[in-house]
């Protein structure tokens, strides 16, 4: 479920809430998600209030529903375009980086972070290629990390990226980052990584 913390309260939770930590949340609003693009299939989300209480919780046993999103499902229009494709939760996109373009800025203002973009291609275990485009800060982070630590045929998983098609009749499809929520996970610890490595040699 998506949870939103208003900018007014963000500083309160900045240091106390980290990824992979268990928390108990009480006194909040449940609302219907109105945004066209959302990170989960759940139509409802949590919105924090000024009297929302967040406390530490002991870890609980979880069931992770790993459901790989095959590349051909994306190409054949079987994946909804208004839900971000999630890594290691509802679905994931995993592949080997086989091509990386140069960082470019489409904005006239070179200082504008939102104008940056970088395109790269990933290949799955069936040798199907997907074009990916990182935008804004995600593009800058990808370019810097790939330049320092990356290499061709490195396996990555993309988390919270959009599936985009120019129009419904078009056969072209690409995966595009969506704000700061989109992540790139290098060498994820899943079985499919070894299968992809065998295919790419």
4-17 residue pLDDT tens: 788 888 787 777 77
pLDDT at 51: 83
Q: Write the pLDDT tens digit of every residue in 56-76.
A: 877 766 544 444 555 555 555
Compute CA distances 76 → 72, 80, 117, 127, 172, whole Å.
6, 11, 25, 16, 10
pLDDT at 13: 77
Q: CB under 8 Å to 10, separation ≥6 — which residues? A: none
Written as six digits, the tokens of 53 are 């209480």
pLDDT at 65: 42
What is the pTM for the complete model shown?
0.62
Measured distance CA(181)–CA(162) in Å, rounded:
11
Helices H / strands E in the chain, number of each: 4, 11
pLDDT at 119: 96
pLDDT beneath 50: ranges in the chain: 63-67, 86-91
Measured distance CA(35)–CA(56) in Å, rounded:
30
Pair 152, 145: CB distance under 8 Å: no
Element (H, E) at 55: strand 44-56
Measured distance CA(176)–CA(85) in Å, rounded:
10
Q: CB under 8 Å to 1, separation ≥6 — which residues? A: 40, 42, 44, 45, 46
Element (H, E) at 107: none
């Amino acid at each position: 479920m998506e949870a939103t913390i208003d900018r007014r309260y963000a500083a309160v939770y900045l240091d106390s809430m980290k990824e992979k930590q268990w928390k108990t949340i009480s006194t909040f609003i449940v609302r219907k998600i109105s945004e066209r693009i959302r990170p989960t299939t759940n139509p409802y989300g949590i919105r924090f209030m000024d009297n929302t209480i967040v406390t530490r919780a002991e870890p609980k046993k979880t069931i992770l529903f790993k459901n790989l999103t095959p590349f051909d499902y994306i190409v054949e229009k079987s994946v909804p375009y208004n839900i971000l494709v999630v890594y290691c939760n509802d679905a994931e996109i995993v592949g080997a980086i086989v091509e990386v373009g140069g960082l470019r800025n489409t904005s006239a203002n070179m200082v504008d972070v939102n104008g940056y973009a970088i395109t790269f291609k990933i290949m799955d275990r069936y040798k199907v290629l997907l074009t990916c485009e990182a935008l804004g800060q995600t593009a800058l982070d990808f370019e810097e990390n790939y330049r320092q630590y990356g290499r061709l045929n490195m396996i990555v998983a993309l988390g919270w990226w959009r599936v985009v098609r120019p129009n419904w009749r078009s056969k072209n499809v690409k995966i595009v980052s969506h704000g700061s929520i989109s992540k790139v996970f290098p060498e994820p610890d899943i079985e499919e990584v070894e299968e992809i490595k065998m295919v790419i040699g």
